[in-house]
């Protein structure tokens, strides 16, 4: 007998933007474990190759039965973003012949947080390209490359700062709040396909590697003190939220928070 619940993603085609590290990689792992075929996109070809090797070594049984496709696409390249996405969708769907079931956007660049006095229109616009502009441009191609049915979905990634600003985070807070509006708007524009968001709190991923080692423990302790669980999120925990939103065909226009209770402190 086929498992009723754990087989929901079997033979589904899942496209993950930012799937080579952090939350995105764990979403790829989880979807692969559940029988999905993967399409992984990143701006770094070397990371894509390493990710495929890692998945195949970890999951040899799945790798024998399920496909992993990769495609390089730089979501921060504003000038070529539209053409890069058009090329990606054409390539990974065989010109639309093999459609996608779920798209997950976890891509993110390192957050630059200039002081208010240092803001320029260029800095503000650059801050929002990957997390705000790119999901909208991805959505542009959904009607052509996904069937607009409730079984399919588009999931974007938000952040706790949309509801809990911090000093120096005004620009990031603005884009995070705006991204929630994108989800609600697209849930109407793309219906009956489902559009949802996962909104993480502090999650210990490779982005923390930019923090000097002598400061890292203090930063982690600060985030722990701002939660009710006394912990910092793990990317494998967050992956569960994305899987839920792929599998629940009645969830749309929704925001799933996974932040350790940070909004309660």
In a domain, 5, yes or no: no
Which ranges in 129-226 belong to alpha helices (H)? 134-145, 170-189, 213-225
pTM assigned to the model: 0.95
Phi, psi of 152 (to 5 degrees): -100, 160
- pLDDT-derived band at 114, boundaries 50, 70, 90: confident
Beta partners for residue 153, in sequence order? 102, 194
Asked whether residue 248 is assigned to any structural domain, the reply reads yes
Contact at 8 Å (CB) between 105 and 138? yes
pLDDT tens sequence across 40-56: 999 999 999 999 999 99
Domain presence at residue 81? yes
**Side by side, which strands form the sheet with 194-200?**
68-72, 37-42, 13-17, 102-105, 153-157, 194-200, 255-258
Q: What is the mean pLDDT of residues 109-119?
A: 81
Please give the residue range of the domain that contains residue 106. Answer: 13-264
The answer to whether residue 1 sits within a structural domain is: no
- For residue 195, the surrounding DSSP H or E stretch is strand 194-200
Any idea what DSSP says for residue 130?
A: I
Share the mean pLDDT of the chain.
95
| Domain assignment of residue 2, yes or no | no
Q: Give the residue-averaged pLDDT of 119-136.
A: 95
In order, the DSSP letters of 61-94 are: HHHHHS-EEEEE--TT-GGGHHHHHHHHHHHHTT
Mean pLDDT of 210-220: 82
Residue 1 has pLDDT above 80, yes or no: no
Radius of gyration, CA atoms only, the chain: 18
Residue 72 lies in a domain: yes
pLDDT at 51: 98
Q: Do the domain assignments include residue 8?
A: no
CA distance 197 to 22: 17
Q: Which of 30, 16, 36 shows the shortest CA–CA distance to 240?
A: 30
Total domain count for the chain? Answer: 1
pLDDT higher than threshold 80 for residue 15: yes
Phi, psi of 117 (to 5 degrees): -70, -20
75/91 Cα distance (integer angstroms)? 16
CATH at residue 109:
3.40.50.720
């Amino acid at each position: 007998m086929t498992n009723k619940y754990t087989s929901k993603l079997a033979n589904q085609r899942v496209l993950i933007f930012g799937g080579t590290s952090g939350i995105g990689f764990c979403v790829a792992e989880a979807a692969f474990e559940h029988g999905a075929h993967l399409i992984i996109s990143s701006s770094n070809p070397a990371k894509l190759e390493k990710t495929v090797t890692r998945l195949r070594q970890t999951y040899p049984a799945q790798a024998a039965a399920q496909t992993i496709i990769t495609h390089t696409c730089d979501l921060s390249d504003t000038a070529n973003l539209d053409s890069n996405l058009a090329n990606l969708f054409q390539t990974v769907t065989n010109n639309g012949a093999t459609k996608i079931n779920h798209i997950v956007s976890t891509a993110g660049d390192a957050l630059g947080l200039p002081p208010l006095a240092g803001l320029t229109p260029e800095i503000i616009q650059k801050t929002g390209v990957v997390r705000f502009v790119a999901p909208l441009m991805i959505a542009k191609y959904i009607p052509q490359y996904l069937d607009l049915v409730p079984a399919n979905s588009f999931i974007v990634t938000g952040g706790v700062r949309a509801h809990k600003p911090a000093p120096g985070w005004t620009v990031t807070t603005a884009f995070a709040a705006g991204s929630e509006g994108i989800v609600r708007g697209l849930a109407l524009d793309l219906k009956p396909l489902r559009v949802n968001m996962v909104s993480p709190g502090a999650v210990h991923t490779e982005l923390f590697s930019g923090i000097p080692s002598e400061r890292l423990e203090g930063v982690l302790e600060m985030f722990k003190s701002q939660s009710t669980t006394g912990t910092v999120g793990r990317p494998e925990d967050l992956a569960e939220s994305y899987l839920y939103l792929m599998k629940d065909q009645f969830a749309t226009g929704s925001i799933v928070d996974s932040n350790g209770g940070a909004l309660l402190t």
